Amino acid sequence: MQPRLPIAELQLALREAGRMPQQRRQKKWQQMLNDLKNGDKVVTSGGIRGTVIALRDDYIQLRVPPDNLRIEVTRASVASVVAPEDKNKAA
Q: What is the pLDDT of residues 57-90, one digit of tens each?
A: 899 999 999 999 999 999 999 999 998 765 555 5
**pLDDT at 51 exceeding the cut of 60:** yes
Tell me if the pTM is above 0.75.
no
Q: In this structure, are strands 49-55 and 41-44 parallel, antiparallel, or unpaired? A: antiparallel
Residues in the chain: 91
- pLDDT tens digits, 20-42: 788 888 999 999 999 999 999 99
Residues in CB range of 61: below 8 A, 6 or more apart: 52, 53, 54, 55, 70, 71, 72
- pLDDT band with cut points at 50, 70 and 90 for residue 46: very high
